[in-house]
Structure 1
Amino acid sequence: MSTVSSSPVTPPPHSLASGISSLRSKWGWIVALGVIYLIAGVLAFGSVFFATVVSVLFVGAMMIVAGAAEIVNAFQFKSWGKFIFWLLLGVLYVIAGFFTFQNPLLAAVTLTLVIGVALVVSGIMRIFLAFSMSAAAPWGLVALSGAITLILGAMILARWPVSSLYVLGLFLSVDLICAGVSWISMGMALKRRT
């Protein structure tokens, strides 16, 4: 006759439960990270123009890094056609990144225009998608989401190029605040589970 052990069940070493249990002891650090994000978001919200410039400079830095990676990647190809294509693509990324650093306001104007057009197109596509969904699907929420996205894009484009002074900074501050709230919520939920 087998006996049932009363010892607690330990999760496998690489399971989700073991990952969550290892995070429980670090809930304070997770909350602290959320507070830092939240403070950064509020500060960015206080000066959206400065946050716009920071956003553009970050995009410029990422373009330079991506361009350098493309240039390095070009040397992996054996054929001249692919080598030239990837090399030119990398050089264009690097040049665009340096132009972004040279004139961040012009880059902000361009990025804001691209974001506004992308939001309008995305909103229209979501609305068309909603009306092609079946009645059992949540087509109303998809249509509402599309309408909000379309209106947001139209508002950005209606005030363009003036909107380029604050839109990117506003998006950055909202993103930082949402990320901060998420990290704080996750840390507090982990604390309650300890």
Structure 2
Amino acid sequence: MEFSNKYWWLGVLKGIVFIILAFFVFRHPLDTLLGLAIYIGISFLFTGIMEIIGSFTISKLAPKWGWILVGGILDLIFGIIFLSNPLISASTIPFVIGIWLMIRGIFLFVDSFGAKKSGVPNWGLMMIGGIIISIFGYSISFNMLMGVLTVTSWMGFGLLIIGLFSIIEGFGLKPKS
């Protein structure tokens, strides 16, 4: 606790950096999308590789392991597409994310029936989640302005909130004089 109290200002500084970053996101949504395209491309590559490896690992245990393999291959393909030309990817982020959400929502919806057969108690939540995710993906895909504003706005709001709470926490650790 003594270390935290001595360096309370680091939390405040971190909060200020997050708030500045949030304002950058709000002010430059297209630049934000470019950075996001690169980040998402790397994320898709990583998750795709992990899902492909995971699908082969559980192939003897899960009868429908092929769906996990398909999801992994799709993530891998999306990752390659995103990283091959980040500028084009940035302009298509809302569409690609929307399509990806629809596919993932459908997979979740289909998986809910397998979960029901396996006796998973909250299989209905999986089904509802799959439907909601698919509808949200459709909305983002076919309304590009909504997609761009949704992606960058939520990102900016998240950074702003993290910044504010970091500042509050930093001042809360400040030793009383």
The bucket for the TM-score relative to the shorter chain is 0.5 to 0.7
> Are the equivalent residues in 1 in contact too, given 2:51–2:71 (CA < 8 A)?
yes
For residue 105 of structure 1, what is the aligned residue in structure 2?
Answer: 91
Are 1:191 and 2:174 counterparts?
yes
Name stretches of at least 5 consecutive residues in structure 2 with no aligned partner. 106-135
Q: Distance in 2 between matches of 1:164 and 1:86?
A: 27
Q: Deviations over 1:134-164 (max 9, x none)?
A: xxxxxxxxxxxxxxxxxxx8xx87x922333
> Are the equivalent residues in 1 in contact too, given 2:33–2:93 (CA < 8 A)?
no
**Residue identity matched to 1:25:** K
Name stretches of at least 5 consecutive residues in structure 1 with no aligned partner. 1-19, 119-152
Q: Deviations over 1:22-49 (max 9, x none)?
A: 5333322211211111111111221112
Report the alpha carbon displacement of residue 83 of structure 1 after superposing the two structures with TM.
5.8
1:169 counterpart (147, 152, 162): 152
> Matches of residues 114-125 of structure 1 in structure 2 within 5 Å?
none
Greater Cα offset, 68-77 or 167-176: 68-77
**Residue identity matched to 2:168:** S
Aligned length: 136
Q: Distance in 2 between matches of 1:112 and 1:86?
A: 19
* Greater helix share, structure number: 2
For residue 20 of structure 2, what is the aligned residue in structure 1?
Answer: 39
% identical equivalent positions: 16
Are 1:29 and 2:10 counterparts?
yes
Q: Distance in 2 between matches of 1:65 and 1:54?
A: 17
Measured on the aligned residues, the alpha-carbon RMSD in Å equals 3.3
Q: Distance in 1 between matches of 2:70 and 2:29?
A: 35
Q: Distance in 1 between matches of 2:98 and 2:65?
A: 33
Report the alpha carbon displacement of residue 61 of structure 1 after superposing the two structures with TM.
2.0
User: Match of 1:166, SS?
Assistant: helix
Q: Which has the larger radius of gyration?
A: 1
**Residue identity matched to 1:51:** T
Q: Distance in 2 between matches of 1:164 and 1:77?
A: 35
2:54 counterpart (49, 63, 73): 73
Shift of the 111–193 alpha-carbon distance from structure 1 to 2, 3 Å rule, reads farther
Are 1:92 and 2:74 counterparts?
yes
> Are the equivalent residues in 1 in contact too, given 2:45–2:76 (CA < 8 A)?
yes
**Residue identity matched to 2:76:** V
Shift of the 162–22 alpha-carbon distance from structure 1 to 2, 3 Å rule, reads same
> Are the equivalent residues in 2 in contact too, given 1:24–1:193 (CA < 8 A)?
no
Report the alpha carbon displacement of residue 178 of structure 1 after superposing the two structures with TM.
1.3
Q: Distance in 2 between matches of 1:108 and 1:193?
A: 48
TM-score by length of 2: 0.60
